[in-house]
Amino acid sequence: MAAITAALVKDLREKTGAGMMDCKKALTEVEGDMEAAVDWLRKKGLAAASKKSGRIASEGLVGVASAPGKAAVVEVNAETDFVARNETFQNFVETVAKIALEVGDNLDAIKAAPFPGAGRTVEEELTHMVATIGENMNLRRAQVLSVPEGVVATYVHQSLKPGLGKIGVLAALAGSGATDALHALGRQVGMHVAATRPEALDISSVSPEALEREKTVLTDQAKASGRPDAVIAKMVEGRVQKFYEEVALVEQVWVHDGKSRVKNVMKDAGASIAGFARFALGEGIEKPKEDFAAEVAATAGTQPQS
C-alpha cells in the first residue's frame, strides 16, 4: 500500500476539486491508487459536487420547526427555484430545522450532526444532494429562540407546505397566559414582522451605528431649511422618534389594526416580546446579472451583437 502523503492528497484535490478530508479518505479506501481514488470520489458524487461549489445559490427554502417554549428557523440555498419543489430538498430543509431545534443554531454543530436514516452527517448529506440534484446548495444560517415561560410561535410566508417557504419568522412571547392564546398572538406578531421587517426589538437595541447615521442625515436635512439651531435640534429629535417607530418592533404600528402600537397590544394581552427572528430567502446574497444574449452567444461560440 502506497503511503498516503500530504502531497498525494494535494494532487488528488487539484485533480478533482474535492475536499481535503474526502481526498484522504478516498486514497485510504483504494490504498493510494490515484486513478482509483478519482473514480471513488466520482462514484460518491464528491468530485462533481465540489465543481458546483463556486456557483451562486440564492434560491431554496426557509424552514421552521418548533417544540414547547422553543423554535428554530434555517435557510438552505440552491441555485434555482425549481429545486425548492424537489421533495428530497424539502425533506432536507425540514430535517435540518428539526436538528437545529435539538443541537442549537451553531452551523458547525448542525453540519456535524447525524442526518437521520442516511448514515451520513448533515454536511455529507448536503454534498450527496448536490451531486444527485446537480446544483450548488448551501446551509446558510440558523437561529433558535427559547423562553422559560411562554411560547415561541412560528410563521411562514409564501409557504410551499407547512413549515417551508420564502420567509420564516420566530416570535418569542413571554407570558403566563393560556398557551393557545399566546400562540395565536405570536403568529400575529410573526405576520407583522414578515410585513414590516423591523431591525430591532426596542429602542435600546437599535444599532448605535444606524442611529448615528440616521441623525447625521436628519441633521443635514434640517439645516437645509435655514432655521435656527434650537429649532433644528427639535426637528431632529422628532424625526428620530419617527425613525424608532419604523425600525423598532415594539414601537411600530400594529399592522392588524393600523393604529395601536405593538407594545400596547402586548401589554393588553399580558405578554411581552422576548425576541424575534426573520429570515427572508436570499436576502443579502448578490445575485448575478443575467445576460441572455451573451449566454446564447457563448454557447454558440459567437460574439453578441452590440
pLDDT in tens, 221-241: 777 777 777 777 787 777 888
Burial letters for 250-278: b for 16+ Cβ neighbours within 10 Å, e otherwise?
bbbebeeeeeeebbebbeebebebbbbbb
Contact 49, 135 (CB under 8 A): no
pLDDT more than 70, % of the chain = 85
The answer to whether domain 6-52 and domain 55-146 are alike in fold is no
- Please state, in angstroms and rounded to a whole number, the distance separating the CA atoms of residues 76 and 61: 6
pLDDT averaged over every residue in the chain: 84
Locus of grid cell 435557510: 75
What does the DSSP 8-state code read for residue 33? Answer: -
Length of the chain: 306
- Res. 1: pLDDT tops 80: no
Closest by Cα among 220, 194, 217 to 280? 194
Higher pLDDT, 293 or 179: 179
pLDDT band at 293, cuts 50/70/90? low
CA distances from 180 to 155, 168, 176, 186, 269 (A): 15, 20, 11, 10, 13
Contact 60, 281 (CB under 8 A): yes
- Mean pLDDT over 143-155 rounds to 96
In this structure, whether the domain defined by 6-52 belongs to CATH 1.10.3720.10 is answered with no
- Please state, in angstroms and rounded to a whole number, the distance separating the CA atoms of residues 72 and 66: 6
The number of angstroms, rounded, from the C-alpha of 169 to the middle of its chain's C-alpha atoms is 11
pLDDT in tens, 20-63: 777 888 889 888 888 888 777 766 666 555 555 445 556 899 99
Contact 256, 268 (CB under 8 A): no
- In this prediction, residue 299 carries a pLDDT of 42
Contact 111, 122 (CB under 8 A): yes
- Please state, in angstroms and rounded to a whole number, the distance separating the CA atoms of residues 20 and 125: 17
Burial letters for 146-167: b for 16+ Cβ neighbours within 10 Å, e otherwise?
bbeebbbbbbbbebeeebbbbb
* Bridge partners for 78 per DSSP: 59, 137
- Res. 164: pLDDT tops 50: yes
Domain boundaries, the chain: 6-52, 55-146, 207-247
Contact 243, 157 (CB under 8 A): no
| Number of Cβ within a 10 Å radius of residue 82 | 12
- In this prediction, residue 57 carries a pLDDT of 54
**What CATH fold (topology level) applies to the domain 55-146?**
Tetrahydropterin Synthase; Chain A (3.30.479)
Higher pLDDT, 97 or 294: 97
What does the DSSP 8-state code read for residue 259? Answer: S
Which range has the worst mean pLDDT, 44-48, 85-89, 114-118, 275-279? 44-48
CATH of span 207-247:
1.10.286
Closest by Cα among 191, 107, 202 to 156? 191
Contact 123, 111 (CB under 8 A): yes
- Please state, in angstroms and rounded to a whole number, the distance separating the CA atoms of residues 4 and 13: 13
What does residue 242 show for φ and ψ, rounded to 5 degrees?
-65, -35
Check: pTM over 0.85? Answer yes or no: no
